[in-house]
Amino acid sequence: MLRRQLLMALLVPPREKIILVHEHVLVDFVGADAIVPGRYDADEVFRLALPKLREIRTLGCRRLLDCTPNYLGRDPKLLKRLARAADLDIWTNTGLYGAREFIYLPAYAKAETPEQLARRWIAEWRDGVDGERVRFIKIGVNRGPLHPLDRKLVAAAILTSKATGLTMAVHTGDGRAALDQLEMVQASGLATNKWVWVHAQNEKDLTVHERVARAGGWVEFDGINRAGAEWHRQAVGYMADRGLLRRVLLSQDSGWYHVGEPGRGKFDGYAYILKEFLPLLDREWRDQLMWLNPRAAFGA
Ligand SMILES: [Zn+2]
């Protein structure tokens, strides 16, 4: 045990500062039509999540972006309690999730215009949600070519980003959907560095990532886990060889408390990337990938 701790201390020096840009504390996949308050016990989630968050705090993590959108279990109050208890900065978001064929969209999202949706999200930024600030935009779209409803969410996110300065992180089905977004962002006049291609690992053709990075977008490889480690290591290497590490974000899309599912309280936590994946990369890249880039993408 002592030897292991010593080894960890050598691999991840305690002064190191890390930001995890895509994780989840809890997710409820029941669907927008069925989601209601009271489907989980917030005290239970708090009790189970806190040790996982404390663990990464001791490993150098300073901030975690909780990417659970509204209608999927976003709970800013719970996040705030956990942030205080774990001494960790935890950010929440505004936006809506259209992926998985729109089952997480409330009815109003189908009826309203991009301007109307943006007005709702800008109001959340201005007024906060449950007394907490929202710090980024998180939306979700399906595979490309983008469906009109997906395009509406992207258009609303662009309007919101322009009005608030918040960065838009977009759960994206594949490279085609990413290129459709890039085109929309460029046509809108929004700076491409306000847009994050989330789940970039869904596209295996790395020339697409290269193209997005060269155009100034953020390429987020966030499926890091034991099974996917080698692919992610190679993808980061590909970007490094082309001088594009300054456009890359890394995270795990991990967690989380599964509301209403069997084994709901058994979640994986967030330490894998810190303990096992980062040591596979060039030590020189770490500050850029895990601290400078997240701050450049989402704000300091
Ligand atoms: Zn996610």
Distance (Å, whole) CA 158 – CA 43: 36
Residue 8 lies in a domain: no
pLDDT at 4: 67
Alpha carbon distances (Å) from 288 to 54, 245, 263, 274, 291 = 23, 8, 36, 15, 6
Residue 2 lies in a domain: no
Residue 78 lies in a domain: yes
Q: Residue 202 CA to chain centroid, in angstroms?
A: 14
Distance (Å, whole) CA 55 – CA 280: 20
Residue 30 lies in a domain: yes
Residue 31 lies in a domain: yes
Distance (Å, whole) CA 174 – CA 199: 8
Q: Which domain CATH number covers 274?
A: 3.20.20.140
HSE, CB side, 13 Å, CA atoms: give it for residue 246. Answer: 6
Read off the pLDDT of residues 158-216 as tens digits, 9 standing for 90 and up: 999 999 999 999 999 999 999 999 999 999 999 999 999 999 999 999 999 999 999 99
pLDDT at 226: 95
Residue 52 lies in a domain: yes
Range of the domain at 138: 17-298
Residue 12 lies in a domain: no
Establish whether the linkage from the previous residue to 145 is cis, with ω within 30° of 0.
Answer: yes
Q: Find the 253 Cα to ligand 1 centroid distance in Å.
A: 5
**Residue with tokens 């303990």, as numbered in its chain:** 275
pLDDT at 1: 54
- What is the percentage of the chain residues whose pLDDT exceeds 70? 95
pLDDT at 267: 87
Q: Dig out the tokens for 89 from the structure.
A: 């900065």
Q: Find the 273 Cα to ligand 1 centroid distance in Å.
A: 15
Question: What's the chain's Rg over C-alpha atoms?
Answer: 18
Residue 32 identity: A
Please tell me the pTM assigned to this model: 0.94
* Domains of the chain: total: 1
Q: Find the 267 Cα to ligand 1 centroid distance in Å.
A: 14
Q: Which stretches in the chain have pLDDT values below 50? A: none
pLDDT at 266: 85
Alpha carbon distances (Å) from 200 to 25, 151, 197 = 21, 18, 6
**Residue with tokens 């279990």, as numbered in its chain:** 73
**Which residues, chain by chain, have CB under 5 Å from ion ligand 1?**
67, 253
Torsion of CA 276, 278, 283, 288, to 10 degrees: -160
pLDDT at 256: 96
Residue 110 lies in a domain: yes
